[in-house]
Structure 1
Amino acid sequence: MADCVFCGIVSGSVPAFLVASDPAGLAFLDIRPVFKGHVLVIPRPHVVQLTDLPAPDLPAYFGFVQRIAAAVPLAMDAKGTFVAMNNIVSQSVPHLHTHVVPRTKGDGLRGFFWPRRKYDSDDEATAVAETIGKEYLRLSVAEGGRRE
């Protein structure tokens, strides 16, 4: 879709701090992260919400989300992740996306209040994206799976 920023990221016409690429989608840093290392995972085709994603695409997409959710805490020295998705309401970009947010006990995140932060610089964001991407690749190789 021509006016969708996430479709622009898929096509390469919109820059992003890319974490990982998979046939099922892309993973990149949220530019307004809840915590540093907050990743968005999107499917490659333009679909607005989860109910629009074709059923045959669900296993590959959620397998990709699962692998990113495994990589984020390892890369960010976190204890776990918060994985969430909005459908229409509170969906800032009308393209399906799954949030993978690093979590640590006592991090201050309560309920659905999402205070946003910024990276100190593009260099910091690039380093975080590369660190998570390396963990994703390491985990993928360990699983014996094929990844881009």
Structure 2
Amino acid sequence: MKNCIFCKIIAKEEDAYIIFENDYVCCFLDKYPINRGHVLVVPKKHYSEFVEVDDESLTRIMSVSKHIAAGLQALLKTDGITIMQNNGAFKDVDHYHMHIIPRFLDDGFSWVEPEMVVSPEEFVEISSLLRETFISS
């Protein structure tokens, strides 16, 4: 995609600290890291959303993410790793990507969970509707 910063990094038209790439993925340090060693794993083919990414690329993204997480844990002596991605209005770049974030106790990064009450009837309804998506696919 012409104006996509990640596509430009993949094409070597923009600078990045690339740590690994193959035919499917390009992995580089996040320019605006949550913590030192924050890596982005990006499919080389442009996709906007998670559900658009082809299965082979997703498999490669997960495999490489696992390898990077293990490397970061050993290298930085982390207290943990957060692996996440955002979609729709919650993503910051319109090119699917996975975040691999080294975590340290008291690093200031948090996940805020709102109070959510779901009735037993709502659990039954949503689980039933989701099961139907597997039957119809």
Structure 1 counterpart of 2:26: 26
TM-score by length of 1: 0.70
Q: Give deviations 1:29-73, integer Å, cap 9, x for gaps.
A: 111111111111100000111101012332222111111111112
Larger relative contact order, structure 1 or 2 (CA cutoff 8 Å, min sep 6): 1
State yes or no: 1:8 paired with 2:8.
Answer: yes
Matched to 1:108, the amino acid is G
Residues in 2 aligned to 1:92 and 1:109: alpha-carbon distance in whole angstroms: 17
Matched to 1:75, the amino acid is L
Secondary structure at the counterpart of residue 46 of structure 1: coil
TM-score by length of 2: 0.76
Secondary structure at the counterpart of residue 101 of structure 1: strand
Residues in 2 aligned to 1:36 and 1:92: alpha-carbon distance in whole angstroms: 19
Q: Indicate the percent of aligned positions where both proteins have the same amino acid.
A: 29
In the TM superposition, residue 80 of structure 1 has moved relative to its aligned partner by: 1.9
Matched to 1:57, the amino acid is S
Decide whether the 8 Å contact of 1:41 with 1:99 is kept in 2.
yes
In the TM superposition, residue 79 of structure 1 has moved relative to its aligned partner by: 2.4
Residues in 2 aligned to 1:61 and 1:101: alpha-carbon distance in whole angstroms: 15
State yes or no: 1:35 paired with 2:35.
Answer: yes
Secondary structure at the counterpart of residue 67 of structure 2: helix
Decide whether the 8 Å contact of 2:25 with 2:57 is kept in 1.
no
Residues in 1 aligned to 2:58 and 2:38: alpha-carbon distance in whole angstroms: 22
In the TM superposition, residue 23 of structure 1 has moved relative to its aligned partner by: 2.5
Structure 2 counterpart of 1:67: 67
Matched to 1:20, the amino acid is F
When the two chains are superposed, the root-mean-square deviation of aligned CA atoms in Å is 1.7
Q: Give deviations 1:76-126, integer Å, cap 9, x for gaps.
A: 2212210110012221110001111101223232215xxxxxxxxxxxxxx
Decide whether the 8 Å contact of 1:22 with 1:64 is kept in 2.
no
Structure 1 alignment gaps of length 5 or more: 113-148
Decide whether the 8 Å contact of 1:35 with 1:101 is kept in 2.
yes
- Rg larger for: 2
Q: How does 1:1-148 map onto structure 2 within 5 Å?
A: 1-112=1-112
Secondary structure at the counterpart of residue 8 of structure 1: helix
Matched to 1:12, the amino acid is K
Residues in 2 aligned to 1:82 and 1:20: alpha-carbon distance in whole angstroms: 19
